[in-house]
Amino acid sequence: MIQKMDNKKISYPPILVVEDETILGFMIKTLLENEGFQAETAPNGADAIEWVKKNPNSLLLLDYQLPDIYDTQIIDSLSADGNKFYFIGTTGHDDESIANELMKMGAQECLIKNSDYLDMIIPVVKRIMEKLF
């Protein structure tokens, strides 16, 4: 729940941080919760797919390469089943072709895991949540 300037509280859908690096996933989850968002983590694609099926219209911070599957395969699987969701692609690869592919698949944004990564998450998530919800 986020409080806007006019003191009205906005309830946003939950956010799933799909990240196989446990400490990084926990850090992102904590950042989001400190800003008033409801957040959970998933360490792999299978868990992410099951979570989205139970939490439609949610937002995912979706790591590009997971131990069991690529994010593009998660997106394809969820889309084929008719699930409604939004996602922000995240990757440690500074490769423009990955970002372009994710944007074509419907990503709201693509973030590179560089030195500014953690600082970018909250402003990007807030902007996207306000735009979508």
Beta strands in 19-84, from DSSP E residues, in sequence order: 39-42, 58-63
- 10-residue mean pLDDT profile of the chain (133 residues): values are 54 94 97 97 96 94 92 92 94 85 93 95 96 91
- The pLDDT value recorded for residue 52 is 96
Q: Does residue 94 lie in a domain region? A: yes
Q: Does residue 34 lie in a domain region? A: no
Give the domain extent around 97.
82-111
- The pLDDT value recorded for residue 92 is 87
Closest CA to 42 of 96, 9, 54, 2: 54
- The pLDDT value recorded for residue 7 is 53
Q: Does residue 19 lie in a domain region? A: no
- The pLDDT value recorded for residue 85 is 95
- The pLDDT value recorded for residue 2 is 54
- The pLDDT value recorded for residue 97 is 87
Q: Does residue 58 lie in a domain region? A: no
Q: Count how many domains the chain has.
A: 1
The residue type found at 32 is L
Q: Does residue 55 lie in a domain region? A: no
